[in-house]
Structure 1
């Protein structure tokens, strides 16, 4: 089996865009946490504390998403370097490892999105209950 140096290079554009999306999610959630923390300091409610706890979990997941995404880029670079140095077998294994880390990153991303959707559904159910009471 032969792997060309261009193949690992293909991961760069995709992984870079994914990392940008992860960073945007992180910044948005961080802003929401700051806002909720300020609100919690004024009004100590359990629901705000639960929201902050949920967002803290999501921030941790995003950190791991970013970690595995960056690891994917590193492994891709090492795969390209191995192929450049005509170490075909090493390049193939490194490229496979980079694909695996990308897959892990995407899996964690799916988990984080699932948590987000569940939280949003809870908010919507509260609105629906308030609407039904009117």
Structure 2
């Protein structure tokens, strides 16, 4: 007798769909940041822009991996449901387990990307502090 039924993997569908939507939004934000950085690079210090570019490149790679892992998890979950439907329960359980594993990997990569994105904010804050330190103090 199978430990899972058709509704077990189906429970993962809404969560995975929302997760993929969140990943897409993060990708769109990255694209916008890159476009803004292109304009900023023409006006600001070269060092800051180079540091931001390196940070954004890492984030793009991680976003690609988290999206690929999330989509793979979703596909494995769907195949698992199909296997339950055609009464291949053992294979369905294995694929569902693999789906959960891929989902966890996707979340871990997402956490890594979030940590890198906070570093980007730190870089901006460092630049702002540096500019304020160099700015002349105006006393009225």
Residue of structure 2 in register with 1:45 after alignment: 46
- What is the distance in 1 between the residues matched to 2:51 and 2:118? 15
Residues 78, 103 of structure 1: alpha-carbon distance in 2 compared, 3 angstrom cutoff: same
Residue of structure 2 in register with 1:120 after alignment: 121
Higher mean C-alpha deviation, range 7-16 or range 116-125: 116-125
- What is the distance in 2 between the residues matched to 1:42 and 1:125? 17
- SS at 1:86's partner residue? coil
Q: Report the CA distance between 1:59 and its aligned residue.
A: 1.0
Q: Report the CA distance between 1:120 and its aligned residue.
A: 1.4
How many pairs does the alignment contain?
A: 134
Whether 1:81 and 2:82 are equivalent positions in the alignment is: yes
Q: TM-score, normalised by structure 2?
A: 0.86
Residues 45, 128 of structure 1: alpha-carbon distance in 2 compared, 3 angstrom cutoff: closer
- Trace 1:25-64 onto structure 2 (pairs within 5 A): 25-41=26-42, 45-64=46-65
Q: Report the CA distance between 1:50 and its aligned residue.
A: 1.4
Higher mean C-alpha deviation, range 107-116 or range 43-52: 43-52
* Gap regions ≥5 residues in structure 2: none
- What is the distance in 2 between the residues matched to 1:117 and 1:43? 21
8 Å contact kept, 1:37–1:52: no
Q: TM-score, normalised by structure 1?
A: 0.89
